[in-house]
Structure 1
Amino acid sequence: MSQDDTLYRVQFISNGERYELYVKTLIQGALFGFVEIGEFVWDTHTSVVVDPSHERLKSEFSDVTKTYVPMHNILRIDTVKKKGSAKITKLENKSDKVATFPSPIYTPTKE
């Protein structure tokens, strides 16, 4: 796999759901504290059975070329050899419905 063919599986949490996306572009974003992902790779379904969460993702990111995900929402980033099916999974834990306020990454000291 050449450097241009690198494929990433990115898992992150947003609004009480776990997103799993496959992308070709992954960099530390120009916005401090965000990871920039782009060039989404969608699975082309050839069977009759269609995953509704995959279709929901495709419609949610249909006009998006890049998105910025806060670093504290990223669960895992993997380099993979082949794409899988992108999906959204509802988090079952009841305490996950309340979002915690993110703590600052950089705290300046007073001198």
Structure 2
Amino acid sequence: MAIQPVYKVIFQNGNQVFEVFARQIYQSDMWGFIEIEELVFGERSQILVDPGEEKLKTEFSGVTRSYIPLQSVIRIDEVEKEGAAKISDASQNNKVAKFPMGPVGTQSPSED
């Protein structure tokens, strides 16, 4: 039986950076989005609970497919096995900058 690949997807959501693992990832039919399916969370023991991973489990509970805007994606890696999903503060990681976006629906003044 072939081993199904696992993808680590790192993306920015507001002021936080999410790192999740998924079995399916592909370009969406909705322009400008990728789709991730079959999110994978590490097997937790009864003794040790990771609060960051628990927060992500709660955030994505009941979600069968998630649409992530392309400009939010930082990195996608195919990995050998899943790891711990995590959330970190984007301000702590100075390597991550928001994608520059202008005001929506405004035009620059034209010169006469």
Larger radius of gyration: 2
Structure 2: tracts of 5 or more residues without a match: 103-112
What do residues 10-36 of structure 1 show as CA deviations (whole Å, max 9, x unaligned)?
000001100000000101001000000
1:41 aligns with 2:40: yes
In the alignment, which residue of structure 2 is the partner of 1:55? Answer: 54
What do residues 40-97 of structure 1 show as CA deviations (whole Å, max 9, x unaligned)?
111111152211110000001001000000001100000000110001011225x98x
Structure number having the greater helix percentage: 1
Instruction: Quote the RMSD (CA, aligned, Å).
Output: 2.3
- Sequence identity, in percent? 34
Mapped to 1, the partners of 2:66 and 2:21 lie a distance apart of: 13
Q: 1:99: how far off? A: 7.2
Conserved 8 A contact 2:34-2:68: yes
Conserved 8 A contact 2:71-2:99: no
Mapped to 1, the partners of 2:58 and 2:47 lie a distance apart of: 19
Count of residue correspondences: 100
1:101 aligns with 2:104: no
Written as runs of structure 1 = structure 2, the 5 A alignment for 1:1-16 is 2=2, 5-16=4-15
Structure 2 SS opposite 1:31: coil
In the alignment, which residue of structure 2 is the partner of 1:107? Answer: none
Mapped to 2, the partners of 1:79 and 1:99 lie a distance apart of: 24
